[in-house]
Amino acid sequence: MLYVCLLLFLISIGSIRLQIEKNPDAIIMFSVSGKLLLIFFTIIELIMIVITVCSITALHWFWSLIISILGALFLSNFLATFYSSILGVKSKPTLSLMTGTYVRYNIHAIDAIITFIVGFILYLIA
C-alpha cells in the first residue's frame, strides 16, 4: 500500500510541474497567494514522499531525501503524463483557433489535488 502512496505522491508533484509548464497563464500563477499555495503544496508533497520512502526502505532520512528528489525530478513528469492521459480531469470542449475543432485540455492542478488526497488517505490507512 505504501508503494501506491509513493506513486500517487509522485503523480501529484508531477501534475503540479505540468500545470506550471503547460498552463503558465492560469489565474493561480498570477497571484502571490496562488504561487505561495503551489510552493507550499509542493513542499508538503516532497515531505510526504520522504516519509513514505523512509517507511518503505528504512534508510536514514538523508538518503530518503536524495531518493525522493531524484524520483520527483525524473519520474514525476512521466507518471503524471501517463496518469493524465488515462484518468486525468479534462476541461469542457473549447474551440481551438489553430485547428478549428473542439478540443479538451487536461486540468493538471485538479489531478494533483485528487492524487495527493487519495495518497494521503492511503498512507493514513497503511
pLDDT digits (tens, 9 = 90+) for 22-57: 776 565 666 777 778 788 888 998 899 998 998 888
Q: Position of cell 487536461?
A: 106
Nearest to 50, CA basis, from 35, 33, 67, 38: 67
Question: How much of the chain is helix, strand and coil, in % rounded to 5?
Answer: 75, 5, 20
**pLDDT (0 to 100) of residue 27:** 57
pTM over 0.85: no
Please tell me the distance from the alpha carbon of residue 74 to that of residue 114, in angstroms, as a whole number.
Answer: 21
